[in-house]
Amino acid sequence: MDSSARARVEAWLKYGEELGLGPYFRDRAPILTAAANADAEPAAAPEIALAAKASPAETRSAASSAAPIAGASLPIISAALGPTLFEAAERVAGETLEDIRADIGDCTRCRLHKARKKLVFGVGNPKAELVFVGEGPGHDEDVQGEPFVGRAGKLLTQMIEAMSLRREDVYICNVVKCRPPENRLPEKDEIATCSPFLLRQLASIQPKVICCLGACSAQTLLATNQGISRYRGEWFDFRGSKLIATYHPAYLLRNPAAKGEVWKDLQKVMAVLGLQPKKR
Ligand code: SF4
């Protein structure tokens, strides 16, 4: 490093120390070393399994967005090296669903609280082997405070019963706990604010299988922006659980022809859980 560059770096370090950021530089040193090593042999990120399904161009694009910026002289740290914000926010060892609900309280953490009637936390068996994760409450759910109780909810109940289960055997929840106005999709910042509670619910329940209903929950848990049709019906590992994504029951109400595809996905879930189809 030439003397003028060294002088600039030293000035920045001194500035950081004056701001009380000295430990920042020391604490990140091992991570930066790991980042340098990662350039030679990139660490596998959780999204890699999905990226493998993408086209070569998409895979290149995904890899370039996740990797440290080549040639950058500032301490750019690869997200793959440490816990994500989601993971960091969800780690509360041994907590129960009641603990999580109490922590949410009368939540005003994002704008969705403004129009909600009832916060919709989740319902079902706290030790369920199977958890269904939807997108967010609709009108009926907002009124009743329970997920999947409208027309789409009735269809989900039929799907559960066709699997030889009862609604109370499984756990049902959503990515966001408050109804987005006009049934719009939840915004990214709303998902980012609310989804740590979902992750804590899943960590508390520790189900064998997580079944994502629709693109919003699948994209949130798989940390991808790829459309659900690219990976629907495929298995992924998610923190000790098996995860599969299928179409949302509301989509099936609009496109009944897709029910066959969903039933195939549910049969895969049944095989993992050792369930036999309900006899008619
Ligand atoms: Fe809080 Fe989630 Fe409701 Fe937003 S959607 S207000 S984060 S509970």
From the candidate CATH numbers 3.65.10.10, 3.40.630.30, 3.10.180.10, 3.40.470.10, the one assigned to the domain spanning 85-273: 3.40.470.10
The structure tokens listed for 31 are 């991570």
Confidence of residue 238 (pLDDT cuts 50, 70, 90): very high
The structure tokens listed for 18 are 């004056």
Which residue would you say has higher pLDDT here, 51 or 106?
A: 106
Q: Is the CB of 113 under 6 A from ligand 1?
A: yes
**Angle subtended at Cα 72 by Cα 70 and Cα 73, rounded to the nearest 5 degrees:** 145
The structure tokens listed for 249 are 């029951």
Q: Which of 190, 199, 216 to mutate to test the pocket of ligand 1 (most atoms within 8 A of CB)?
A: 190
- Give ranges for CATH 3.40.470.10 in the chain: 85-273
Range 70-99 average pLDDT: 52
Which residue would you say has higher pLDDT here, 38 or 217?
A: 217
* pLDDT exceeds 90 at position 62: no
Q: Which of 188, 205, 199 is nearest to 90 (CA)?
A: 199
Beta-carbon-side half-sphere exposure of residue 169 (alpha carbons within 13 Å): 15
Q: Is the CB of 107 under 6 A from ligand 1?
A: yes
Full-model pTM: 0.71
Confidence of residue 12 (pLDDT cuts 50, 70, 90): low
Closest ligand 1 atom to residue 186 Cα is: 5
For residues 118 and 122, what is the distance between their CA atoms, to the nearest angstrom?
A: 12
Predicted local distance difference test score (pLDDT) of residue 277: 79
What is the tens place of the pLDDT at every residue in 89-105? 555 678 999 999 999 99
Place of tokens 């006009």: 182
Q: Which of 110, 173, 197, 200 to mutate to test the pocket of ligand 1 (most atoms within 8 A of CB)?
A: 110
Predicted local distance difference test score (pLDDT) of residue 93: 77
* pLDDT exceeds 70 at position 229: yes
Which residue would you say has higher pLDDT here, 78 or 240?
A: 240
* pLDDT exceeds 90 at position 82: no
Q: Is the CB of 89 under 6 A from ligand 1?
A: no
Q: How far is CA 86 from CA 26, 191, 270, 274, in A?
A: 25, 11, 29, 31
- For ligand 1, atom 4, the nearest C-alpha belongs to 110
Q: How far is CA 138 from CA 116, 221, 228, in A?
A: 10, 20, 21
Range 242-266 average pLDDT: 98
For residues 161 and 159, what is the distance between their CA atoms, to the nearest angstrom?
A: 5
